Amino acid sequence: MDLCQPDEWVEQAERLLAPEERAQAERGVPDVRLRRLVGRAALRIALGRELDRAPASLRFTTGPHGKPALEDGDVHFSTSASADDCLIAITGLGPLGVDVEHVVPRRELDRIAATRFASREAESIARLDGDRRLRAFYRCWTVKEAYLKARGIGLSIPLDRVVVSVDEGPPAIVALDGDDPSAWSVEAFEPGPELVGALAVRTGGAPAPGPVGVRPLPLILD
């Protein structure tokens, strides 16, 4: 969904938020404030549709590293934004994390891969050229971040503690520090032009939920 919404919509949507969500948004510069308000209102609308509840009635808790969860309700969700694009993922299967990034050429890509990724990931990326190299970098990044968000850890631990496959086949978690890779299902997808996304769900070894379907979210305010 697009975080850039008309002022009248934002004004109405703001009413869905709890005081602490509004206060959190206020901490950003005007652009960030708007994006946070719209993102949070959209999350409430998406969860409200899923649970058949009024978006404003939902209450959230926050994990030790900032992962939001519903106070009551057995669905798992995760959100990610890159510029004005926002993804919201919801499932009943198990803890999940989603990440989206715009594919932007970066001069420091090799340095980031060399210093933050596991050596085998950095070496695999360095062997590729041009666009394939750029996409492999983003794919590696998003799969790792999706996993770390599913765990609720976020980037509070080094990225090289999670090792993922870097070839062009379906992504896989190859090694995890203190966790079982077979308990996780990971997907890489392209939610739009020049966007890469990844989703990690703890299925506990159950079959993967199938390819990720990305749908626009109708931003209907009741």
Ligand X SMILES: CC(C)(COP(=O)(O)OP(=O)(O)OC[C@H]1O[C@@H](n2cnc3c(N)ncnc32)[C@H](O)[C@@H]1OP(=O)(O)O)[C@@H](O)C(=O)NCCC(=O)NCCS
The binding site for ligand X (CB under 6 A) comprises 36, 39-40, 65-68, 78-81, 97, 99, 145, 149, 152, 154-156
By Cβ distance, which residue is nearest to ligand X?
A: 154
Task: Tell me how far the alpha carbon of residue 100 is from its chain's centroid.
Answer: 6
In the bound state with ligand X, the residue whose beta carbon lies nearer, of 128 and 154, is 154
What's the 3-state SS for 155-195? HHCCHHHEEECCCCCCCCEEEECCCCHHHEEEEEEEEECCE
In the bound state with ligand X, the residue whose beta carbon lies nearer, of 39 and 55, is 39
In the bound state with ligand X, the residue whose beta carbon lies nearer, of 128 and 190, is 190
The answer for 29, left when phi > 0, alpha when psi is -120 to 50, beta otherwise, is beta
* 58: nearest Cα among 11, 90, 10: 90
In the bound state with ligand X, the residue whose beta carbon lies nearer, of 80 and 203, is 80
∠ CA 20-101-16, nearest 5°, is 25
The single-letter DSSP state of residue 201 is E
Q: How far is the CB of 34 from ligand X (least distance, A)?
A: 12
In the bound state with ligand X, the residue whose beta carbon lies nearer, of 69 and 128, is 69
Q: How far is the CB of 59 from ligand X (least distance, A)?
A: 14
Beta strands 184-192 and 195-202 are antiparallel
* 100: nearest Cα among 18, 208, 1: 1
Q: How far is the CB of 31 from ligand X (least distance, A)?
A: 14
Q: How far is the CB of 127 from ligand X (least distance, A)?
A: 26
Q: How far is the CB of 129 from ligand X (least distance, A)?
A: 27
